[in-house]
């Protein structure tokens, strides 16, 4: 949905028989084999820890296994691929246009901060024009105006992490989470203040009733709709949460039973890696996660005797150290396609940090303005007669 006045068209082992595994602290946590029933080709036991490490270090093998066992019917394509046989929805293209505009320095810096921001971005090879600045009432933006000092700190932290080859957890703490906090929360950082919020969710698993065969992959952060905040203006949301949880195989309103999100719909997911982390692995992780989310939606709609329609795509982000990329998934029949990828900015520079923050706030607006109304009507079934 675009407003009519939119101006933009490894571990170590001892040699002993009894082996001790030391997990890689830089990797996104993986599900234990007790939490999900894996396909025979990828089921593991404690006696095969070496092969587990081999598979984790080789995303190519994981993609190859999908050709044999693909219970989520997940496929991958490129946004700008010339041989694609599945057209990208117009609504998704419009989002890409807007994100592309931010990437060319259009409407990314608060006009009130122009004098303070100019020294930070003066090193850019592309001189800024008046179109780089936006007013307080800028449309299609969610969140506060991020102060220049925050932009400076994020950029400096990012450079420090890159210089010291920081682990994924350090990137998440010092850079990625900081961007999300300043973009989506108030100055006090209150976790319960806004309708659209975020959380770290590295331990969230896909519920075994959604996927009982195939790889279990997770993400690091997600945007969610705070149903408690929503209930303040729409009391029906509270009962809708209870009804959906009573129906849901995960006993939550999502495809995961992650406790923090049991009452709050997940709207956008983010997979992050350190600067030299595996990009292919990140793609597989967020693709699997999205496919499970679509499957959850389809089951809910089927329980009401209806088909899954009305939502053109699910948005996502892949973050690799400094660099942020937009991805999205679409659903046709029972097949999910993950579309990759569109750069949206890099925290290597203050200008790139502004681009990322503006993109994050735009996507949060989309979650509030497009995703949340759809979820209320189609998944919470508010306004629909039960069948």
Contacts of 130 by beta carbon, 8 Å cutoff, 6+ apart:
none
pTM of the model: 0.83
CA distances from 66 to 62, 276, 284 (A): 7, 25, 10
C-alpha span between 328 and 384 (Å, rounded): 28
From first to last of its 387 residues, the chain has per-residue pLDDT tens of 555 455 444 333 333 333 333 344 445 554 443 333 333 333 333 333 444 444 455 666 666 666 555 678 899 999 987 666 678 999 999 999 999 999 999 999 999 999 999 999 988 888 899 999 999 999 999 999 999 999 999 999 999 999 999 999 999 999 999 999 999 998 888 888 899 999 999 999 999 888 875 455 589 999 999 999 999 999 999 999 999 999 999 999 999 999 999 999 999 999 999 887 688 889 999 999 999 999 999 999 999 889 899 999 999 999 999 999 999 999 998 899 999 999 999 999 999 999 999 999 999 999 999 999 999 999 999 975 443
Nearest one of 368, 365, 352, 372 to 139, comparing CA atoms: 365
For the chain, the straight-line distance linking the first and the last C-alpha, in angstroms and rounded, comes to 29
Question: SS3 string of 26-53?
Answer: CCCCCCCCCCCCCCHHHCCCHHHHHHHH
């Amino acid at each position: 949905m675009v407003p009519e006045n939119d101006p933009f068209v490894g571990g170590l082992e001892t040699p002993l028989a009894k082996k001790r595994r030391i997990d890689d602290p830089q990797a996104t946590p993986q599900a234990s084999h007790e939490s999900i029933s894996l396909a025979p080709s990828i089921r593991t036991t404690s006696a095969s820890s070496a092969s587990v490490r081999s598979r984790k270090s080789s995303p190519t093998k994981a993609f190859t296994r999908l050709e044999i066992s693909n219970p989520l019917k997940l496929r991958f394509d490129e946004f700008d691929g010339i041989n694609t046989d599945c057209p990208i929805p117009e609504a998704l293209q419009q989002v890409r246009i807007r994100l592309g505009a931010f990437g060319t320095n259009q409407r990314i810096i608060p006009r009130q901060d122009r004098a303070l921001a100019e020294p930070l971005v003066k090193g850019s090879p592309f001189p800024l024009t008046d179109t780089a600045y936006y007013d307080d009432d800028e449309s299609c933006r969610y969140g506060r105006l991020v102060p220049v000092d925050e932009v400076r700190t994020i950029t400096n932290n990012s450079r420090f992490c890159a210089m010291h080859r920081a682990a994924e957890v350090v990137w998440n703490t010092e850079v990625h989470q900081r961007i999300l906090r300043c973009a989506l929360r108030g100055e006090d950082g209150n976790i319960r203040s806004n309708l659209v919020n975020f959380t770290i969710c590295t331990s969230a698993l896909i519920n075994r009733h959604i996927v009982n065969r195939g790889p279990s992959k997770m993400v690091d952060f997600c945007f969610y709709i705070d149903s408690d905040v929503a209930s303040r203006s729409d009391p029906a949301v509270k009962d809708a949460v209870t009804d959906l949880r009573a129906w849901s195989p995960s006993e939550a309103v999502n495809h995961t039973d992650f406790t923090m999100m049991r009452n709050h719909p997940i709207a956008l997911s983010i997979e992050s890696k350190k600067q030299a982390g595996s990009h292919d692995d990140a793609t597989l992780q967020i693709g699997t996660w999205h496919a499970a989310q679509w499957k959850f939606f389809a089951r809910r709609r089927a329980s009401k005797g209806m088909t899954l329609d009305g939502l053109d795509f699910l948005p996502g982000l892949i973050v690799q150290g400094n660099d942020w990329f937009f991805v999205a998934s679409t659903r046709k029949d029972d097949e999910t396609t993950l579309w990759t990828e569109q750069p949206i900015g890099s925290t290597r520079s203050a200008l790139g940090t502004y681009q990322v923050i503006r993109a994050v706030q735009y996507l949060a607006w989309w979650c509030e303005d497009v995703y949340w109304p759809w979820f209320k009507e189609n998944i919470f079934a508010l306004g629909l007669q039960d069948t």
